[in-house]
Amino acid sequence: MNGPVTAPAALVVAVPAHNEEAALPAALRALHTAARQPELLARRVRVVTVVAADACSDGTAALARRHGAHVVELERRNVGAARAAAVAHGLDLLGPAADRAWIATTDADTLVPAAWLAHQVEQAAAGWDCVLGTIRVAPHPTLSAAVAQRHRSLYFAGRPARDRAWDHPHVHGANLGVAADAYLRARGFPALPHSEDHALAAALERVGARILRTDRCPVLTSGRTDSRAVHGFGTYLQDLTLASTTGQLR
């Protein structure tokens, strides 16, 4: 990468949520811890967390506000629209600082590690326009050990030895970071009911964004099989579970 790069002046953390009052508190606590890391405090990086409460019939919105998050409410039942709304609201809140902002997206059923935001700021300062991270799957009563093992074998296929970087093939809205200017050049998250993260990554490639695929700072996502997003990760686990019960899982 050519020339010095300025670290982000502010962070927008975008979290889509559909009826997530059970999982959201832990997710927001983890994000709060990530926002209070010494590296970010030393840089005086402002962190704005926005929950997009999409078609919620429970207390998701009120709960998010009680935990200190900003909230934007919509009635789309569309994860792409929800992510985009959260990002747009966060950039609006930042005002002029939005020009040098970094956008980090995760999910309401996901726990980010304490170093998650500092890691993304570090990569932004190194000149990357986008960071595509990885996940680990938390145990869940609906996820059998056999299905969890099958997921791991598929997910980590091709991963090199531990002392080498893994240029992995995955894209997860639960662990994605992007510079605001690159995000806007790529026209942001499209209003898709699923795979909006893959669509954004493809658009970023088309506009020439510098994309880092790294396993350095994985997040812990729920192993539940009742997906909130149609064809989301939970649906994938559900399909693996179905394959195991019909004898197709090997």
pLDDT tens digits along 107-161: 999 999 999 999 999 999 999 999 999 999 998 888 888 888 988 999 999 899 8
Mean of pLDDT over the chain: 92
Average pLDDT on 228-240 reads 73
Question: Percent of the chain, pLDDT > 70?
Answer: 93
Predicted local confidence at residue 250, as pLDDT: 46
Tell me how far CA of residue 132 lies from CA of 19, 68, 105, in angstroms: 26, 26, 10
Q: Calculate Rg over the CA atoms of the chain.
A: 18
Q: Which residues pair with 74 in a beta bridge?
A: 54
Predicted local confidence at residue 130, as pLDDT: 98
Q: Class of 10-245 per CATH?
A: alpha beta
Domain ranges of the chain: 10-245
Continuous segment of H or E residues that includes residue 73: strand 70-74
pLDDT tens digits along 163-189: 788 999 999 999 999 999 999 999 999
pTM for this prediction? 0.91
Average pLDDT on 93-98 reads 96
